[in-house]
Amino acid sequence: MRKYKTLLIDDNPEHINLLKSTLNLYIPLLDVVAEASDVQTGIQAYLKTQPEILLLDVNLENDTIFSFIDELKTTSAEIILISSHNHYGVTAVNYDITGYVMKPIKVQKLKKAIQKAIFNIERKTSQNNFSFSKQNEIPHSSIISIPGIQDVALISSDEIEYLEADGKYTVVHLSNQTKKVSSKNIGEYESFVNPKLFYRVHHRYLVNISKIIRIHKSGKPVCELANKVLVPIAKRRLESLYQFLNVK
């Protein structure tokens, strides 16, 4: 059974031990490969072990975990924050976070966040694997449905530039510079569009990669589409986007 390499960061050893016990008992799919108590030892542990999932306590002694994330710059690992304070959620919005779990930890909340992380990992793995045999390929429709208030529009994938999350709705931007609002959320679209054609470059954006003409790396990374629209790329997804596009 595949296990997912996991790094734990918390400045309280008792909390580390409690979290490990919870994982061993309820979520055995995780393999804790390293532990750290501060930003610098966390960076060293990350570079040494290359974990797939990061379980991070937000409030460290004389610092916060956001310093650790900033120092990483880019990572393909799934980040789950753990905190006793919900006000850090405001800061977390500015980062590409998979989950935010409040203390005291509720097992179901932790499970849900980790299940989402594992789903993301497996999806990225399948996107980077171009050697599927024909019988194992999952067919994806070239027609995308966009249910609105009065009707359901059926749009060819080739006509879609990108999809933008807007709360529980999705704004679908088309090549003719018009847009349609769908009652489906962006996660639903991500689950059924062709993963070889669409890529989640940011938690808000799902882009048709055939429309990308340039990637701007300076400052905040963005991808430029054929219609000159600039779509933000989450820093920690930049590396995996390069792999997806086979950019060396």
Are 17 and 115 within one domain? yes
- Residue that terminates a domain, selected from 62, 93, 127: 127
Are 100 and 162 within one domain? no
pLDDT tens for the chain, residues 1 to 248: 688 999 999 999 999 999 999 999 988 889 999 999 999 999 999 999 999 999 999 999 889 999 999 988 778 899 999 998 887 877 887 888 899 999 999 999 999 899 889 888 887 776 665 444 444 444 455 778 898 877 788 888 889 999 999 988 999 999 999 999 998 899 889 888 888 899 999 999 999 999 999 999 888 899 999 989 999 999 888 888 888 887 75
How far apart CA 200 and CA 225 sit, in angstroms, is 14
Are 149 and 231 within one domain? yes
- Residue that terminates a domain, selected from 93, 127, 161: 127
In this structure, are residues 241 and 198 in contact, taking their beta carbons and an 8 Å threshold? no
How far apart CA 105 and CA 10 sit, in angstroms, is 14
Half-sphere exposure of 108 (CA within 13 A, CB side): 0
Of 222, 197, 68, the residue nearest 139 (C-alpha): 197
Are 123 and 9 within one domain? yes
CA Rg value for the chain: 19
